[in-house]
Every structure is written in C-alpha cells, then in structure tokens.
Structure 1
C-alpha cells in the first residue's frame, strides 16, 4: 500500500495542511460566500492538499436514513458536479455506527474491510461503480449531531492516509459544518429580514419596506420635471362584508394582479395599502392609477378612500413625509364620503400642522396649569347692578401671552380635550363664584358654557352635582349655557339631560339665541329658563327695524313665559337705551367690561 506522494516529512505536511486551512477559512468563512461556492472551494482545496481523486459533500436527510451527495469534485479535469454525481445512498448500519463514533473513517483497504462493505450493500455498490479503493471520510457535525460527511476517495489503487491527513480531513468536515452554519444563519437572517419587511397576512411588503423603496426612488429627483407619487388606499372596515382578513387578502390580490411589476404595493396599516409607481409619473398618470385602485377595491364591494401625494410638494426629499402626505390625503377623502380620491394639499396640511401645534400647546397648558378662567359681567340696564357673569376660558402660552378661547376651542372640541377642560373650568368657576358678594341677599349668577362634546358625555349631570357638592356653590346660582348645536343631534336625549340638570336646581340658558333654525322650537320643547340674545340682533339697534322687531318679539316671549333674556354684545349707550325701550333689562358687552380676571371683576363690581 502506497501513499500518493512521499509524506515522510510529517512536520512539513502538517504545516502545509495548516496553511491550506487558513487560506480556505479566509475564502469561505464570510457572509459574501454562498454555500455552493464554499462547498466547491472546500472540495478543491481538500483534493489538492490530500491528493485525493474524488472529494464529495454528502448530507443526511431529515429521517437520517439516507445520504445525498450535494457536491462532488473530480481532481482529474478539475470537474465539479459531473453528470450523475447527485447520488443517494441508504445509510448502512456499520457505516452509520462509525460515522457517529469516529473523528474520521479511515478505510485504506476497502476490499479487505468486509465488516464495512458486507454490512452495507448500497455502499459496496457505490464503491464498485466508481472503482474506489480507499477513502477517508470526515463526519460533518452541527451542535454535536452528525448531519453529513465529507468523502475523500482514491480510485484504482489503495493508499495509506497519514495522521496529518486524518487531522486535515477532520478539519475539512468542520469547515463544511461551519459553511453550513453560516448559510443557515444567513438564511435565518434573510428570513427574519423578509418578515421584518413583509406583512404576514397578505405577503405584501410592509411600510418599512415601502419606505426603503421610496427613499431609493427619491435620490435622483433633482432637476426632473416629472416626479414620484405615492397612493394610499384606506379600505373601510365598517363597509366590508365577512371576515376582514379575507377581504384584505382579496383586495391585495386584485391590486397585485393589476399592477404587477409596474409599482410596489404594500400593506401599511391594518386596513390600508400604499402604492408607489416605479419611475416618475405625471400628475394625470398618478390620478389615473389612483382611480384604477379605487375601482378595483370598490368593484369587490368594499368602500375605499384614496389619497395621492407627489414628491414635488416636499420641502426636502423624505420618504416618510411622502407616504404620510398620501395617508393624510386619504383621510381627507374619507371625511368627504365613501369611494373618493383626494390629492394632498400642502396648504391644508399646513393648517393641520397649526392645529396639531395648538393641541400640543393646549395639552402642555393643562399639565402646567396655564388655563385661566376670566369672567364677563352681566348687568341690570336699569341701575347698573351686577347680576351675574359668564365664565370664559383663556390659555396662557409658554411665553406668557394670553389667548382667547376662539383661538383654540375648535381644536379642544375636535381632540376631545374639551371634556376634561370643561370639567376643570366648571370646578374652578364654581369655587370662585362662592366668593362673590351678595346684594340684598342675592349673589350674582354664574354662567358656564357647555360644549356639544361635553353635553354628549353620559357623566355630565354627575359631574355637575359633584362639583356643586365639592365647592358649596348654591345650585340656583349656576346656569349652564348651551348652543343650538349641542341640542341638534338628539333632541329627545337633550330634553332628558336638561330635565335632570333642572332637577338638580341648575339653570339652563340657550346661547346665541336666534342664529339657528330651530331656536323658537326649543323654547317650547326643552326645559330652558334663560335665552341669551345673539349679538347680531343687538348690533343693528336702534336703526335697523328688523332687529328692533326681533328684539321686541323676544322681550314679549319673555314676559309671557317667564323666561329671562340676556342681550349679548352691548357696546354703546344707544344699544342700552334701545334694549330698555324694547323691554330687555339684562345685558353683557364691552360697554360694561370685557372678560376680566376675578380680582378685577370684584374691584369693579364687587363693592355693591
């Protein structure tokens, strides 16, 4: 039995083996090397270093019953994976036992190793087919488990494998294991990356993926007259029939089939998709795409709102802003009704930003106790006596500037902040009013505005009762002011709530009387004891005969029904004289005072 070459200088061969392993590690132990390339280089280096005729990588199948050749290198002709190399062998018991127990299987004399071949007909047939006389097989182990084997085979003549050869072959098995582990990790990372960037329900890209695509697409925009567009589709969950998941998957399928490779389609919200056309499109083209999207989803019986945003509206290239603009446009379309399409309006968006800034300032003012309650007095026009005051909200910003309610009340309403703010105003105003002085045993009445949002809250009556109990304000001195808007949504429910308030002993005033369509009807149907005549009817006095007739009619209603009337917006002595002549004796307005802090109010009118 001979060696392939004279290997009597064992130290020299050990160094060569180590050098080969170091060079091989540099080539294959990194993420840029594919598993197939790693197998190929490992087999080439092993064959050259060991002077083996054939080197193959075989892997166990999941049942651990069969070996399959995944890569074969023939040193003669330097051929990889020649025809017929993808063989499979049933794993024999003797070979399996050696594979599990030994660092390497050294079979220098296969013809004489009857214990191996006789017990393994499949292996014996393989060796005969390829005229393999000797082999040095190294198990491939991952996490201690045998997962495959690297076969170093000699054809024709037998050969002896040295101790250095055996050590090198064992290392080659470890290299294959390491290459497989790197590939497994790379595949797991790739799968994780895929899951991070895709929606599991529809298998579409998600918002993060679409952001990457949009970011890359925004780079070459400079100087181009055409632009990038983003289209956002909001599928209305309340309008779908059946399971939401089924609906979304169906919608995703329709959109994917329609646009294919022409656009990147992503699921960006629970009930929303976004589309980014590939390349730059004109506005008319983007609109046409959006209308096709709308028709596709609507055609399946689902309501949808579509928004379009263009990159040319961006102050600076920003993928996140582009997608957000498209979503804002879809929200605007949604608020206008079903199955609509809207284009992002930069000016409208600036208005939204201002509202967001106002809401943020309002929240900060609540936390930092910068919300103040001022009071506009209500006087008797006959003798100037102080009869009451309307509590009016003010916000002091972080710079100390004071803002009237008209600057932020809409935002407070739409954001829902008006509910906790209203409760705070009611408590603070009631506590303050307890300190107002009485005249002839009667203290001024406190009027507090209640918004439509507050009036809808089921806990309003309980809140009022709790505040009255906590502050000690007599119930008859509190009057809640409501506008017609607060009563419109549910007249029957409004009547029940007002009845409960009146049962507490609290007064109810109808504010801005005369500006709505149903004001007179409310007087008949609802338990109201005060009407506040809108300033628009006072402004024309005494010259406008229609205003005079309306005011006179309201005064007549007051006399016949026992309702109190308070005129708003009194700004001149002429107003006072006209109102008195027409029968109105209670009023408030700038002629007497604007809204004042409580201290100034008491200084002016608290002395009796």
Structure 2
C-alpha cells in the first residue's frame, strides 16, 4: 500500500531508505537488462520502482526534443491508483524558457520542495507551472538522462501530499533513476540499430524486397515445416530479367537498379498468403509458392508475370526489357537443399531465355510433365488469341409461341490447326487467367458488331444477342465503359443486347452487383441470370436485382418430363418470374418431349440442340427471319 513520506527525514530514516533503494536498484537492473524487456516495459518499471522506493505519489518519464524544444511524456505512474496513466492522457509541454534544460548541465538532480514558493519557478516557466498546478504537484525531484553527452530526457518524481524536502539518499536514488532512463534509451537505440543492420543484411536496398539470403532461409524454414504438410506444393518461380537496351546505352538511360526497382513495383501485388517475393540476383527475382493448391497456382503466377512484364510501359525509348521464367518444384522425398532449389529455378530460367524473350521452362521436365504441359497450354491460348484464332459462334434461341428465332447466345470457340475447340475445353484455364478480361471485351465487341448486321424479321425487329460476362469481368472496373464502347462502335440498339451473368457471380456481393447492374440498365441493355437455380439461395434477393430474364439450367431440363422434382422446380421458377415480370428461357432442350413439357408449364423460349447448335455468324444469318420448327440436329 502507498504511504506518503514525512516532510523531512532523519539519518536513521536515510539508512533505512538506503537499504530500500539498493534492493530496488538490484531488482530494476535485472528487469532492464533482460533480453525480453522492451523500451516501454523498462520505462514503466522505472516509474513504478521509483514511486515505491521513494514512497511518492507520481513518477513520470519524459523525452526531450531539442529541435522542437518540447518535452513529451512517455509514461506516468500513479502510485495511489496503483497503475500507469492512460496513454491518451500523456502530455507534451512546450519549453518557454531555456534555463530549465540548462540547469541539468551542472547538477545530477533538480529539486523543488514547494514549487509555489520557489523563486526560480515563479519567474517564468509558464508551461511547467501550469502542468504542476493542474496535477496538484507541490514538490518535484527531476533527474536528467544523458546519452553520449546529450540530454535525451528526464525522470520526474512528483509529490502531491504537500511540501517535500528531499534527503541526500533520495536525491542520489533519483539520480540513479535518471541513469536507468538513459540506459533504457541507449538499449532501445542499439536494438534499433541492430534491427536496421539485420534488415539491410536480408533486404535489397534498390527494391526494398527481401534478398537472396532471406529467400534461402525462408525455403529452409518451409522444408522444416514441410513434413507436417502432406500434399503441399513448394516451388520456386524465378524471373530472370534482361535489362539490356535495344540500341545501345544512350544518355539518360536508367540504371539496372532503376529498372529492377520498376519491375519490383509490378511484381509486388502478386505476393499473397502463399506466395513470397525476393530479389535473388542482380537481374533476378524469385517467388516462393507454398500452397496446398494444385500446379495451377504456379501456372497462373508464371502466366501473370509474363503478361504484366510484356505489357509494361517504359519511359526510355532505348529500353527493351525482357524476362524469362524458370520453375523448380521441391519433391516431398529425397534431400532438401534450399540453395539447390533456388539454383534449379535459375537454371530453368536460363533455358527459357535461350529459347527466346518472355519464355518459360520447368526444371527436370521428366518429373513435371503435367506442369509443363499446363504452362504450354496457357501460353498457346494467349498466343492463339493474339493470332486471331478465337471465334464467336452463336446458338439460336427459339420462341415456340411465335414460331421463330428471337435471339442468339454468343459462345467462344478456339480454332487450333483446323480443329474447333469448344469453350468447355479451355474455359477452366481461361477464366482465372489475366487474359480473361481482354477476351471478354473482344467477345462483347464482336457480338455487338455481328448482331448489328442481323436482318430484321417480318413484322418484328432484329433478334437480340446474349453475351456471357465472366465473374472476373464483372469484378474488374470498366465493364460499363466496355459495354458503352461496344454499342457506340457497332451502332447496335442497346435493347437488343442482353448480358448473362451466373447466379453465383451476382450473389457473392449483392451491393456490388447493384452498383454495376444499375448503370448497365441505364444504358438500355438487358440482364439475364444464367444457370438459375444452381447457385445460392437467391429468391430473397431477386426482387432487388434489376434483371429481365432467368435461364433455367439444363440440369433441371434434362430430367423432364419424367422427373417430378425437376418439373416442380421449373414450375416454381416460372411462378417466381411471373411475379416479377421476368422472362424465362430454358437451356439444354434436346428432345421434343422436353419441349412439350416446358410449353405445358408455360416456358416458350428455348435453347438447345433440338432447335440448333452453335454456328458461325454467316450460318446464323441464313436462318434469321425464317419461321422454322424443330430440326433434327443432334449433338456431335
């Protein structure tokens, strides 16, 4: 319990206090010098120890800022409450006089028994007097903390109980507290310096990224943790940068470090929870991928890196940077050598560089054929798109009540060596890749351009066109602008364009979906929910979404007319759509029996092999405007 000391002390009291002070200093030494003691912990311990040993109500530690000429309170301890002062209550005091600081040049402590009657305090020191008055402090015993001959701060022992005449033992102890504060300042400075040295040892100055030593230690740690992580993929993706200039170095050409710094800015956003990046060479970066995911994670990363570096803009005309990627995968069995894994990635990058700029290679292809083939497939897909191998085909949508085609869905195809690949064969690779937004924009422009030339039907307008929007397109900015640009370039009536989005895409974030759908509807285009019924429980949100059509997924159509459950689901969707005045379209209609059951249920718009498979635009144009019944078209 805190007990205030008497106003004065006898020699006997001094002797007792001396023993108390010695015990306090020994205990404080163990605390401050402990490796686990932080600066904040040390300062708090000093305040509490001083208050207990001096039997005083309040002790505070201040940092002196010589540049701004202010004192900033770092910690204050209230002995009566038995706790530190809340951080938001700590103060900053401007120094309106220089002699307070100057007084510490010649004394170990500054003592004031009763500040109200002290002539030195009465002359000025407005900020200090205001502080003492506000906290009802009568006597003070301040001790400076010098480090390397420079004043860093002070510890202030503050008496609230009344006048306090400080004994020699007390002033000696208070001076020691100033030394301990100085010690805490110096330990903190050294630890900061050591941390900076360690940071410099493990980081590259030019890019701010971790360096080769850091990456090797990180791989070593992953190997240590690895046995407990079964089926984990651990791979190095090394990016070898060619920083040579195209027509020789000219005045003003950026240095290699400048180029690497610019590339580091591009690569940084590719780091994630399972992916870390370091500069592992003068002209090289390395990613460490550690994940339970499949090889697809490594493939997407490599493809994204090449795409980003190929599309970089450089301010200097002579600069033509290139990059090659090498991939090395750590095996679960056998020796695990961090340096060897890193070198394997570098060797693979060198092999890729020999084959040309912006290439990639996998170390030990015999054991990683699947990964190599997947990389080749993504690269071939990117190259194929650049060469114009992608096509847009159209599957008609038939209205049984009108007996004619009313719309067509744009479907992506890839013609490789004369063979035509459907989207199902490559969409799983395309959608998560960075190529998807560019392909999506191209399909949108091409579909609007083709539809603008479709002939009008007798007594009716021209058919509409439906274009799928991927989740990646929907999440990225610019969709509304892309739609507007496609409509402007083609001259297509916005009312003839329908954007199809999956239920899953819309339901992930309703508020975000509304932010995109509202301006799209303002353009005059329509919106349809594709594959309705296979995603989230969306019925409660349907009334909030500005949609014009629901497309019943083929999964519910295939069981008709025999499946009572499928028929019930279809009827429920129809009732829901009617309540919100939404059109219903059935997908995957393949048999007359399915078409008859759908008609009986009230669905008249249908799409599927019964009415026509996907076809090039030229074939579709021959059919438009002609009233036709079901064809005998069967699946390939």
TM-score (norm 2): 0.52
Asked whether the equivalents of residues 40 and 71 of structure 1 are also in contact (C-alpha less than 8 Å), the reply is yes
Structure 1 unaligned blocks of 5 or more: 349-608
Cα offset for 1:208?
0.9
Cα offset for 1:94?
3.0
Distance 2:8 2:352 in 1: 81
Report which of the two structures shows the higher radius of gyration computed on alpha carbons. Answer: 1
Partner of 2:42: 38
Cα offset for 1:89?
2.9
Distance 2:66 2:352 in 1: 55
Asked whether the equivalents of residues 240 and 284 of structure 2 are also in contact (C-alpha less than 8 Å), the reply is yes
Matches within 5 A, 1:451-490: none
- State whether structure 2 residue 258 is matched by structure 1 residue 246: yes
Partner of 2:310: 298
Q: Per-residue displacement from partner, 1:58-106 (whole Å, max 9, x unpaired)? A: 1111426221111111111123133532232315233223222110111
Asked whether the equivalents of residues 143 and 178 of structure 2 are also in contact (C-alpha less than 8 Å), the reply is yes
Q: Per-residue displacement from partner, 1:216-273 (whole Å, max 9, x unpaired)? A: 1111323723331011000111257941333322211111113344411111111110
Distance 2:246 2:160 in 1: 70
Asked whether the equivalents of residues 228 and 281 of structure 1 are also in contact (C-alpha less than 8 Å), the reply is no
Q: Per-residue displacement from partner, 1:295-334 (whole Å, max 9, x unpaired)? A: 2222216311100001118741111111111111111111
Distance 2:301 2:98 in 1: 65
Matches within 5 A, 1:245-394: 245-300=257-312, 302-312=321-331, 315-345=334-364
Matches within 5 A, 1:15-54: 15-54=19-58
Distance 1:311 1:167 in 2: 64
Distance 2:109 2:159 in 1: 16
Partner of 2:151: 146
Cα offset for 1:109?
2.3
Residues 303 and 64 of structure 1: CA distance in aligned 2, closer, same or farther (over 3 Å): closer
Cα offset for 1:116?
2.9
Distance 2:299 2:24 in 1: 63
Structure 2 unaligned blocks of 5 or more: 248-252, 314-320, 368-636
Q: 1:131 aligns with which of 114, 131, 136?
A: 136
Partner of 2:192: 187
Distance 2:273 2:122 in 1: 56
Cα offset for 1:5?
7.6
Distance 1:29 1:270 in 2: 41
Residues 114 and 73 of structure 1: CA distance in aligned 2, closer, same or farther (over 3 Å): same
TM-score (norm 1): 0.54
Partner of 1:201: 206
Q: Which has the higher helix share?
A: 1
Q: Per-residue displacement from partner, 1:112-149 (whole Å, max 9, x unpaired)? A: 21123313222222221111110110011101222211
Residues 88 and 16 of structure 1: CA distance in aligned 2, closer, same or farther (over 3 Å): same
Q: 2:79 aligns with which of 71, 75, 79?
A: 75
Q: Secondary structure of the equivalent of 1:312?
A: coil
- State whether structure 2 residue 237 is matched by structure 1 residue 231: yes
Matches within 5 A, 1:510-525: none
Asked whether the equivalents of residues 221 and 227 of structure 1 are also in contact (C-alpha less than 8 Å), the reply is no
Q: Secondary structure of the equivalent of 2:12?
A: coil
Distance 1:123 1:90 in 2: 8
Q: Per-residue displacement from partner, 1:157-190 (whole Å, max 9, x unpaired)? A: 1112111111111111000110111111001101
Q: Secondary structure of the equivalent of 1:238?
A: coil
